[in-house]
Amino acid sequence: MLETPELSDWQPDRNLGLELVRATEAAAIKATPFVGRGDKNAADGAAVDAMRRFLSSVTMNGTVVIGEGEKDDAPWLYNGEQVGNGLGAECDVAVDPIDGTRLTAEGRPGALSVIAVADRGSMYDPSAVFYMDKLVCGPEGVGIVDIRNPIGENIRALARAKGVDVSDIRVAVLDRPRHHQLIADIRAAGAGTELIMDGDVAAGVNAARFDSRVDLAVGIGGTPEGIITACAVKALGGVIQGRLWPKDDEERQKALDAGHDLDAVLDQNTLVRSDNAYFVATGITSSGFIEGVKRHGPYLRAESIVLRSHSGTIRHVVSDMREDRWGV
């Protein structure tokens, strides 16, 4: 008779991703009635509540290390909260019930509900510096791109590695005043831009995918989002590189006092040390790789992606749910 392993011997297993997708589906479905209605707080509140309820049934002993509470002043899914049913693997859990609350509120594409999970203690602590300068691309960029190089040099190197003209390269960038010069430099190099309002997790995943029209995602965005993206990148075999970007002298000093090297390049294996990481996302509004929630007669259809780094598996999950029988 097989002995029951101690919890410390257990690791997140192959079934975990398919359990987690129920939580992202729930958050996406509950956020959908608020799409285009201009109230991002109501959308986020509904998604947070739904995700938390479904996470309570997942077989894991999870600790939220990147949560909703601190970022959006929400009462649940805060850093340090225990999630799951308390059995099975001890996990770091990163949640973003809506990556793109403004996209949801304004009815724009690219809003996702996201969960990332890895072995306990393996996710980078993002608390010292909220922003990070990031570069994300697919497997062709491994050993080729370097965030320390000028953007034009990285574009040309990636184009050579992919065997395409520079003019075929498309770069996703958050449309922010801080990126005006970066956008100009991308265009001066001969590449095209895809300017996004929000949702740099979706942009990073798109850049790392083998079948995407986006080749590269660059610019300054959230450090928590960088760690979540790293879980996806590890499964997709791509590249993420980041450097902490303090927003002011006070945050810079806080980072230095915490022992951070602000010149260090943080890659996917620094941001998530475990090779057993999961990335699960469900579309709220349609993005480049999954459709948003849609109604089909009496059914609600949700599309999701489930990535696991250990196996390199990419699963696309389409769920049709009877609205009169589905609930949170």
For each successive 10 residues of the chain (328 residues), what is the average pLDDT? 39 75 95 95 93 91 82 68 89 94 94 96 90 97 97 98 97 96 98 93 94 95 95 96 95 91 95 95 92 90 94 92 71
Does 246 share its domain with 283? no
| Range(s) of the domain holding residue 286 | 16-121+276-325
| Boundary of a domain, candidates 271, 289, 316 | 271
Single out the residue in 271, 291, 313 at which a domain terminates. 271
Contacts of 37 (CB under 8 A, 6+ apart): 43, 105
Residues 71 and 199 in one domain: no
Q: 203 and 262: one domain?
A: yes
Binding residues for Mn(2+), by number, are 44, 68, 96, 99, 225
Return the SS3 of 320: strand
Q: Which of 271, 292, 309 is the last residue of a domain?
A: 271
Give me the amino acid identity at 228. Answer: I
Q: Three-state SS for 198?
A: coil
For residues 80 and 144, membership in a common domain is answered with no
What is the reported pLDDT for 211? Answer: 87
User: Would you state the structure tokens that stand for residue 61, as one six-digit string?
Assistant: 């002993």
C-beta of residue 103 within 8 angstroms of C-beta of residue 113: no
pLDDT for 5 equals: 39
Question: CA 301, CA 132: separation in Å to the nearest integer?
Answer: 35
The answer to the question of residue 2 being in a domain is no
Q: Which residues are annotated as a binding site?
A: 44, 68, 96, 99-101, 131, 176-178, 198-200, 222, 225
What pLDDT is attached to residue 6?
A: 45
Whether 6 maps to a domain, the answer reads no
Residues 266 and 293 in one domain: no
Element (H, E) at 269: helix 268-271
Q: Binding site for substrate: residue ranges? A: 99-101, 131, 176-178, 198-200, 222
CATH number for the domain spanning 209: value is: 3.40.190.90
Quote the pLDDT of residue 17. 84
Asked if residue 239 and residue 148 are part of one domain, the reply reads: yes
Cα–Cα distance between 309 and 123 in angstroms, integer?
14
What the block records as the tokens of 279 is 């990335």
* Same structural domain, 243 and 293: no
Residue 24 located in a structural domain: yes
Quick one: pLDDT at residue 128?
Answer: 84
Per-residue tokens: 111: 């809003």
Does residue 56 form part of some domain? yes
- Size of the chain in residues: 328
Residue 255 sits in the same domain as residue 297: no
Do both 259 and 136 map to the same domain? yes
pTM: 0.90
293 lies in the same domain as 249: no
Distance CA 176, CA 101 (A): 17
Could you tell me if 42 and 145 lie in one domain? Answer: no
Bridge partners for 217 per DSSP: 136, 172
Whichever domain contains 42, its CATH number is 3.30.540.10
Domain count, the chain: 2
Q: Would 284 be classed as within a structural domain? A: yes
CA distance 138 to 325: 40
Residues 171 and 52 in one domain: no
Distance separating alpha carbons of residues 184 and 109, to the nearest angstrom: 24
The answer as to whether 25 is a domain residue is: yes
d(CA 178, CA 49): 34
